[in-house]
Structure 1
Amino acid sequence: MCLLLIAYRQHPHYPLVMLANRDEFYQRPTAPAQPWQEQAITAGRDLEAGGTWLGMAPGGRVAAVTNIREPGTPEPPNAQSRGEIPLAFLSGTASPVDFSTGLEGARYRGFNAVLFDHKVGAALVCAGNRHQPFALTPGVHGISNGAADAPWPKVTRGRESLAALVAELPEQLDSEHFVAPAMALLADTLRAPIAQLPDTGVGRPMELALSSIFVRIEPEDLAGESPISLAGGYGTRASTLVAVHRDGSTHLWEQTYVDGQASGRLRHFSYPPT
């Protein structure tokens, strides 16, 4: 249950700027973002299922996936991990449109996948199995665990904050003017007013706990009022920034968290221009 904030063609030098929080069970084994030895990608790794939630590849390719919150919906037979979707895109050469067209959505539980390749015309596409693939228009977008740009409080708040941040960015992204304020944006723990919460079938206490940009939930927070078990705790495990320059150079910054607290140093990776 994550959040993607995307500024597409809103900066003269960076056609894609993406901010993301990955929310997951604290006990799910995960490796932080790093270059993969067996494939030319840089991404975090889900050690349980083997895929990733967000990553980049040389040539200005970026992919991310979020699940769709739909409790009670039957799983497809032999459901595959949604983490294999961004991995397959990053490992291949298909354009976002072609990859989306060939994606067998019925194999997965509900998802949105954002696919970017700076070398092609329809560079930014949102694929999914609850809608037809579509190209995202230039602008600031947000995707959580529903439809793209759904007016959930965290999506609306995140889009507004990212739009303000991008408007002040210098020609070259740096730590002071981009990385630090973007990470602060992703660390926002403000929960939404009750009246603004969506109703996605998880109960009011859970909707409230998930309404902040940065999520931290302990089992006792829900007082047994949620249909979803959060044994061991649940929340934001990683905050990630991605920026693709118009020359094809690509940058990724990541901060990981343990039990809601920053763990280790902020990591930075990059690929050269193409």
Structure 2
Amino acid sequence: MCLLLFAYHCHPNYPLLMLANRDEFYQRPAEPAGPWPGTRMVAGRDLEAGGTWAGIASGRVAAVTNIREPDIPSPPDALSRGDIPRDFLQGQASPLAFAEALERDRYRGFNALLFHLGASDELVCAGNRHQPFRFAPGVHGISNGTPDAPWPKVERGRAALAELLNGMPADLRESNFVDRALALLRDQRPAPPEALPYTGVGPALESALSPIFVRIERGDFPGSIAAETPGPYGTRASTIVAVHSNGTTQLWEQTYREGRPAGQLRQFTLSAE
């Protein structure tokens, strides 16, 4: 994932609402969200490394973003960051216990959002550029930097999600929530140059990566980077998750190809166990 927006205890019936965009090279093979055989997990699948970027199990939610740090080398025999949400969703550990048990030094930079519906409805951010911590109730955002870093897409997304939740009815449906959330996630406005973060990729690429919804043709990459890229890059999937206090967990996913919807909106519901 490259953008996570989430509302934690901001709705009377839904302790967690999450909106997310996955940005990736178009040619990297992946399967859209669906049930994983032998599990009660619903998630997309990265066919190159075998993990996932976001998914649900009954009362459990997990998603991961990478940290953009091009000058930091990968650790030896690095593990796939997509294993983190997969392993959390397939397990039973609490979010904090899972986060503390991760071999954090074996991954490239990451943030992982981990939620379990229970007595405390624990929402934790794991990572290897900070210590695990619990989120306070509120509207939060994570992109490819530190959690809640004021990147333009994070600030714009948080404000839009807060506005979306204002006056939201008791029961969320496609017409009153999902359609509007997808529209939020399709915002292609770049940030002004003075607001761009500095991550070491250069101002042209920082600008191209700054919208909530990303689309970059190979020729749009700076010359020094274009030769090393496998092709066009952009938002491949938008994921929306809603966890009801009764344990019902829902996921919607819209996939994209070169900026256009690829297939119908997919929807999955898991009942409380």
Q: TM-score, normalised by structure 1?
A: 0.97
Alpha carbon RMSD of aligned pairs, Å?
1.3
Q: Distance in 2 between the 1:37 and 1:152 partners?
A: 38
The 5 Å alignment of 1:77-226 reads 77-121=76-120, 123-224=122-223, 226=225
Match of 2:234 in 1: 235
1:225 deviates by: 5.5
CA-to-partner distance for each residue in 1:21-45, whole Å, 9 max, x for gaps? 0000111000000001132200000
Query: Is the CA contact (8 Å cut-off) linking 2:96 and 2:124 kept in structure 1?
Result: yes
1:70 deviates by: 0.4
Query: Is the CA contact (8 Å cut-off) linking 1:203 and 1:225 kept in structure 2?
Result: no
Match of 1:256 in 2: 255
Match of 2:5 in 1: 5
Match of 1:39 in 2: 39
CA-to-partner distance for each residue in 1:207-236, whole Å, 9 max, x for gaps? 000000000000112351548843310000
Q: How many residues align?
A: 273
Query: Is the CA contact (8 Å cut-off) linking 1:205 and 1:226 kept in structure 2?
Result: no
Q: Which runs of 5+ in 2 are unaligned?
A: none
Q: Distance in 2 between the 1:172 and 1:230 partners?
A: 44
Match of 1:23 in 2: 23
Q: Which amino acid aligns with 2:196?
A: L
Q: Distance in 1 between the 2:207 and 2:62 partners?
A: 28
Where 2:136 maps in the other structure, the secondary structure is coil
Q: Distance in 2 between the 1:37 and 1:127 partners?
A: 27
Query: Is the CA contact (8 Å cut-off) linking 2:218 and 2:226 kept in structure 1?
Result: no
Q: Distance in 2 between the 1:228 and 1:250 partners?
A: 43
Q: Which runs of 5+ in 1 are unaligned?
A: none
Q: Distance in 2 between the 1:223 and 1:203 partners?
A: 8
1:78–1:120 CA distance, 2 compared to 1 (3 A): farther
Match of 1:271 in 2: 270
Percent identity among equivalent residues? 61
Q: Distance in 2 between the 1:94 and 1:228 partners?
A: 43
Q: Distance in 1 between the 2:184 and 2:225 partners?
A: 28
Query: Is the CA contact (8 Å cut-off) linking 1:142 and 1:148 kept in structure 2?
Result: yes
Where 1:28 maps in the other structure, the secondary structure is coil
Q: Distance in 1 between the 2:269 and 2:20 partners?
A: 17
Q: TM-score, normalised by structure 2?
A: 0.97
Q: Distance in 1 between the 2:125 and 2:101 partners?
A: 13
